[in-house]
Amino acid sequence: MSKSSKYRLELQGVTKQFPGVLANDQVSFAVQPGEIHALLGENGAGKSTLVKMIYGVMQPDAGSIVWNGEKVHVANPKAARKMGIGMVFQHFSLFEAMTVLENIALGMDGGMSQSELETKIRQVLQHYDLTLDPHRVVSTLSVGERQRIEIVRALLLEPELLIMDEPTSVLTPQEVAQLFDTLRKLSARGCSILYISHKLHEIKELCDGATILRGGQVVGECNPRQETSTSMAEMMIGGNLKQIEKGDSREFGDAKFVVDGLSVEGEGDFGVTLNDISFTVRAGEIFGIAGVAGNGQNELLLALGGEVRASVADTIKLDGKPLGTLGTSLRRYFGLCAVPEERNGHGAVPDFSLSDNAVLTARNRQDMVRWGIINAKTATGYASSVIEEFSVKATGPSATAGSLSGGNLQKFIMGREIMQVPEVLIVSQPTWGVDAGAAAAIHQALVDLADNGSAIVLISQDLDELLAIADELAVINEGSLSKTMSVADASIDEIGLLMGGVHGDPVATEKQTEKRHVA
């Protein structure tokens, strides 16, 4: 037996270069059969490029991929699947108007009758204790159930290696537990798993080993079970991780932002209708809204930010001023800033420079426009300040938004709004796709903004994020908002059940909680 044949996958000096960027530099690591192996690194560390080469989406410029002891050329994803490599991407590739069975059939390489495929799907579901109806239409499924479609599609190929890219970013705590059960069963039968996640406590709980990348290079390996989340984060960033400084006895002012009976019809076939949304945020307070993706978060941000107007002005008030029927410009004039979930095309115009993107939202509060004329020097200075303050990796304020990595664009957009010091900040997914160091910096900036007297509405699918910085919390599900809870007294089980759709039924809540504890 050769030395490398004890490994399922081995990378030897893999290098990949793009114009001006060395994405992977002599990367070498190995994964054993049945091992759950984490790939850790900051934004831009080279993780995504690496797994795309393993899966055949792109080819290395140098180095070798060794599969079960033999050097291989992975020509494309179809070749990867034929070898026994499966991948579940962070963003699902599903047609909402089609059934589970039809979606899985579209992703299969070989010809198979629908009845044969359904039989195989049911066998996989039974073997891994997964619940999923092959005849359900995808639009009726929760996000966790949709992820199961992607997993089942991969499992039908009986993979020897399964790559998971940020698999828990949109799942409830209960769905995360179910996913981990499935991955452990896969591991037990010998399937190797390459796991990418920014949630380091999950890495510690699930993974057997980890490879740490920084700047495209391997900078270390570790056993996650012998590390802390902080120690792994510090290996990733190559320095000390800044801890969030949040006072234990924070004091809040008067009610600053009041939403009372906000109802908005959903748009299109899959839009979510907002039903009688009500909450109050005091000056200096961070109000968190938890929920699984697709339950009305985007509709709520559009309604609060003014992109969709309410029919009654008094449904939204800032310092007592009715804003409900006003558009975005007037709401910003009165001190409301907003950050949408989608960075490119919504939070920023990709083909515009960072200076021009700053003008789009900060022109009034930063005095960039006089008599209809843009002061380019002021705009450039403000963009430069955001780049410096939020450690945005960019060539300067003239760089286009589309030239930045996703994580760096997120830092710029967050900084652009926070540095305006708004009276109210509405933000959705503030640390989506950013690494641990950048996330900590953004969290601290939000806490500092609240300490300065601003009211913050934080919409997030990351429950850990909400528990870390929010003061009060509610859960949105199917367009309805739960009761408000103090984060200090909140039960993770109760929040998870509310995220999954259990509303105010004490018997159902108790049964679901007991079921999880037994499991």
Q: Dump pLDDT digits (tens) for 345-391.
A: 889 999 999 999 999 999 988 888 888 888 899 999 999 999 999 98
Question: Which residues make up the CATH 3.40.50.300 domain(s) of the chain?
Answer: 3-237, 255-518
pLDDT of amino acid 170: 66
Q: Which pLDDT belongs to residue 270?
A: 65
457-494: per-residue pLDDT in tens? 999 988 888 988 999 999 999 899 999 999 988 888 88
pLDDT at 269: 65
What integer is the mean pLDDT of 263-275? 83
pLDDT of residue 192 exceeding 60, the answer is yes
Q: What is the pLDDT of residue 145?
A: 82
Residue 5 confidence (pLDDT): 60
Contact present, 116 and 122 (Cβ < 8 Å):
no
Percent of the chain with pLDDT over 90: 55
pLDDT band at 510 (very low <50, low <70, confident <90, very high): very low
Helix (H, G, I), strand (E, B) or coil at 463: helix
Greatest extent of the chain over all pairs of C-alpha atoms, in Å: 78
Higher pLDDT, 93 or 122: 122
**pLDDT score, position 364:** 87
CATH fold of 3-237: Rossmann fold (3.40.50)
pLDDT tens digit string along 279-306?
999 999 999 999 877 788 989 999 999 9
Q: Is the pLDDT confidence value at 519 over 90?
A: no
Half-sphere exposure of 312 (CA within 13 A, CB side): 9
Q: Provide the 3-class DSSP secondary structure of residue 331.
A: helix
0.75 surpassed by pTM:
no
Level-2 CATH architecture, domain 255-518: 3-Layer(aba) Sandwich (3.40)
- Residues 325-333, mean pLDDT to the nearest whole number: 94
Is the pLDDT assigned to residue 249 strictly greater than 70?
A: no
Average model confidence (pLDDT) for the chain? 87
More confident residue, 440 or 35: 35
Q: In what order do the strands lie in the sheet with 161-165?
A: 85-88, 161-165, 192-196, 36-41, 209-214, 217-222
Query: Which helix H or strand E contains 98, and what residues bound it?
Result: none
Helix (H) or strand (E) holding 39: strand 36-41
Matching residue, tokens 């870390």: 468
pLDDT for 450: 95
Percent of the chain predicted with pLDDT > 70: 93
Q: What backbone phi and psi angles, to 5 degrees, belong to 372?
A: 80, 0
Sign of the Cα pseudo-torsion (344, 272, 476, 328, in order): positive
Q: Give the pLDDT of residue 506.
A: 38
How much is the pLDDT for 516? 36
Confidence tier at 3 by pLDDT (50, 70, 90): very low
